[in-house]
Structure 1
Amino acid sequence: MTDIRQYLRSLPVFAGELPVFEPDSAPERPETLFVDWLTEAVEAGVREPHAMVLSTAGADGVPSSRALLLKNVDSGGWQFAANSSSPKGRELAENPVAALSFYWPQQARQIRVTGPVEPESAENSAADFLARSPGSRAEAVAGRQSSPLDDRRELDLATEQALDRVTREPGLVVPEWTLYTVRAERVEFWQADKQRKHTRLRYERHGDGWTRGRLWP
């Protein structure tokens, strides 16, 4: 049997050449630095650089996390979309705060975003839904996310029927589909160092502005 502990210790970390991060020259607002890093991740060939881990917790305080895609980021916050009746939607209704985590291994960079979450208007949510691919819309129309699935054929049939409906009704919108915005209160940028002298820069919101400062690794 493989010694998993030793196997994990043997795996390489922070391989290759790492980018340099100078916090003293960082922009005043975190979303500006985020877009800079996102663009550099794309140029470095990172797959799905807009993928992120969304962490939520309901009224019981038990955390849960899952990966999904970032939809937009601007001075208002970081946006993602979900069905409000899904587990994450229900948790956000009970406890409207979330954490986002991005990790780009080719550059050994991590970004963490934390703050309250607000649902966007029905109009904006509908626009997001209609911008999705037909297959993605069909998956949402089929619904039943996270419900037990006894037979894969049920999924195939429901998806086929939903795709047919989406084709016949191109303006169809799932009423529960919701665009959410994380109004960030803290954003941390982490750049790994091969000698473990990692660089960490944290932005904290104060009113309409931000303060920023370094953190110990």
Structure 2
Amino acid sequence: MDTVKSTLQAVQTRIAAAAELAGRVAQDVTLLAVSKNCTADAVRALAEAGQKAFGESYVQEAVAKIAALADMHLCWHFIGPIQRNKTGQIAASFDWVHGVDRAIIAQRLSAARAPDQAPLNICLQVNVSGEASKSGVTPEQLVELVAEVRDLPGLRLRGLMAIPRATADVAEQRAQFALLRQCFEQMNAQGAGMDTLSMGMSGDLEAAIAEGATIVRVGTALFGTRIRG
């Protein structure tokens, strides 16, 4: 447990230092622990150390983990690719969904969210790198997608997310994050009312925080390298 706590504290210290450097406060940045491919016991240990928000990418694995850890009252974010036939399970099981990039997916999530559940928080994915291999709408397509999903019942449009091109060049990291922030500001200027920028991971969270990230998605720095088997 001491090792788990020290690992969590090390990441929290990075976040706090990056926030201070950017003239922000650490409390403005939520650490989302990416726990895909981790056991429920590993998640429980990190939760007992104080971490409450966890991100999962594989529906079946996540649903089992959520059930096993129900007593911990954690906040669960779905951050993986969203298949149409999984929207029902996702809508029923998660508090947040990152990576919505099609109106049909938002519509299906909305239809599947039970009336007695709180609205499902969603972030729209923007392709900030221009890579064909990456999901997400272009910045130019974002206006239309926001208009299509912002008033769907059962959903709450919270913000934007991106997975930028992997690079060690801090200037390039910041440029991609800055593009997402600009999209965010433009949408809010048009009345979108968003409050969340989900961007930055273990290797580039400092650049993301400098450009306004409110959620950083950190896996490797917390759990180490994991291989899906």
TM-score by length of 2: 0.26
* Structure of higher RCO (CA pairs closer than 8 Å, 6+ residues apart): 1
Q: From the two aligned structures, give the one with the greater strand fraction.
A: 1
Q: From the two aligned structures, give the one with the greater helix fraction.
A: 2
Determine which structure has more spread, i.e. the larger CA radius of gyration: 1
